[in-house]
Amino acid sequence: MKRKILVVLVDRANFGRLWPVMKAIQSHQQLELMTLCSGTMVLERFGSAVDTVDRMGFPISGRVYMEVEGSLPLTMAKSVGFGIVEFTSEFGRLQPDIVLLIGDRYEALAAAIAAAYSNITLAHIQGGEVTGSIDESARHAITKMAQYHFPATRRAGEYIIRMGEQPETVFTVGCPCGDFIRQLDKRLPPGIFSGGDPQVHIDPGRPYYLVVYHPVTTEFGCEKDQIIELLYALDQLKHPTIWLWPNIDAGSDHISKELRRYRSLHKPDWLKVIVNFSPEDFQRVLYNSVCAIGNSSSFVRDSTFTGVPVVLVGSRQEGRETGTNVVMVPPLRTALTDAITAQTANGRYRPDGLYGDGHASTRIVDILSSVPLYTQKRLGYIRMPDDQTDAGQVPVSPTTDQDTASTLSIP
């Protein structure tokens, strides 16, 4: 009997990183792919990315509607509660052997809680990373509920073990987004910028910026000032710009409102706002941009495989490992204008292997096909040499590469 792997997709970035893994699962003789779509994947105003999942030939085993409207901290918290209820029902119906999650979204946290309390084996990709916002707490909470861990960098793998996870459950394989970036035909298809405002035309054959700016939930209420600074920095440059709509987190309505107000007031012919791209088209648009600007984690990890210049704005990704192609600036218009100008003038950087070598998916899938299924987790322990009692046990906390070398498989 094939082992059933249930992949949970909660937003466009989730799907963009997981679909190479999903393809690998489909191709594996001992595994069966199941897909559960939730979060903004199933919402029409975010482009109904679930339709892209279907068009790409992946089975949609269920849909979880859990988002409470409002884009407020309290609606995010309530959404987690609804998600736990709905994911639990779907897990009971589908009976997966392993639930596979990625990242740090609050929707993924709800799925992790449901899987843990349902005694279902949980595997987590991209744990152990350090960032700003509430995402940091959600990511580490998922790590503590997961049986198996697939961090994207050596440092992240070390951090997971320092959190008390058993070294034999930590497999540092790299980020799966690199798997298809490495092989993708990066030419822009005709009409790729035809969406959005039909009065604004951006020529994909000419240099353009790509902007993605999400709210920072722990700075709720500051979004208006931040987005004004970014908009007016770009207004000074008036360079052709593609701007992707923000996610659904608390504060996103403030960003959307300010974008609409600016466009209505100034009618910029250099700015085009688009709701969504397919995973492949997003990577093509990112690769061909002369500078990526904003606070998306895609700008941090995906860009390392291609060397696209990035201006990382604000605190949302603070602490995350970055390549040499990334500069970080506060959301202040002068700093932004200077950084964008300098990065554009610099041009493409040399790609690096910080987030892997582009072969993560096959590693993940081979491991999922053979690891033991659910066992109750225990904190990793070492025994103090002068104490034979339980009181002499302390959490494992390796501090050198040598301590964790057996779990860190990125060359």
Main-chain phi, psi angles of 230, to 5 degrees: -65, -45
Is the pTM value of this prediction over 0.85? yes
Residues of the chain with CATH 3.40.50.2000: 3-175+356-407, 189-346
The reported pLDDT for the residue numbered 47 is: 86
Length of the chain (residues): 411
The reported pLDDT for the residue numbered 380 is: 67
* CATH class of the 189-346 domain in this structure: alpha beta
Q: Is the pLDDT of residue 82 over 80?
A: yes
The reported pLDDT for the residue numbered 112 is: 98
Specify the range with the lowest mean pLDDT, choosing from 32-46, 119-133, 375-389, 390-404: 390-404
Other CB atoms within a 10 A radius of the CB of residue 387 amount to 11
Amino acid type, 234: L
Radius of gyration of the chain (CA): 21
The reported pLDDT for the residue numbered 411 is: 45
In terms of Cα–Cα distance, which of 269, 283, 270, 271 is closest to 189?
283
The reported pLDDT for the residue numbered 276 is: 87
* CATH class of the 3-175+356-407 domain in this structure: alpha beta
Specify the range with the lowest mean pLDDT, choosing from 23-37, 194-208, 294-308: 194-208
The mean pLDDT value of the chain amounts to 91
At residue 80's C-alpha, the angle toward residues 75 and 82, to 5°, is 90
* Structure confidence by residue, pLDDT tens digits, 329-361: 999 999 999 999 999 999 999 999 999 999 999
Distant-in-sequence, close-in-space partners of 338: CB < 8 Å, separation ≥ 6: none
* Structure confidence by residue, pLDDT tens digits, 36-54: 999 999 999 888 899 999 9
What is the full DSSP assignment across 290-347? SEEEE--HHHHHGGGGTT--EEEESSTTTT----TTEEEE-S-HHHHHHHHHHHHHH-
Pair 305, 182: CB distance under 8 Å = yes
* Structure confidence by residue, pLDDT tens digits, 147-177: 999 999 999 999 999 999 999 999 999 999 9
The CA dihedral of 121, 378, 166, 32, to the nearest 10 degrees, is: -10
Q: In terms of DSSP H, where are the helices of 184-324?
A: 223-237, 252-266, 279-288, 297-301
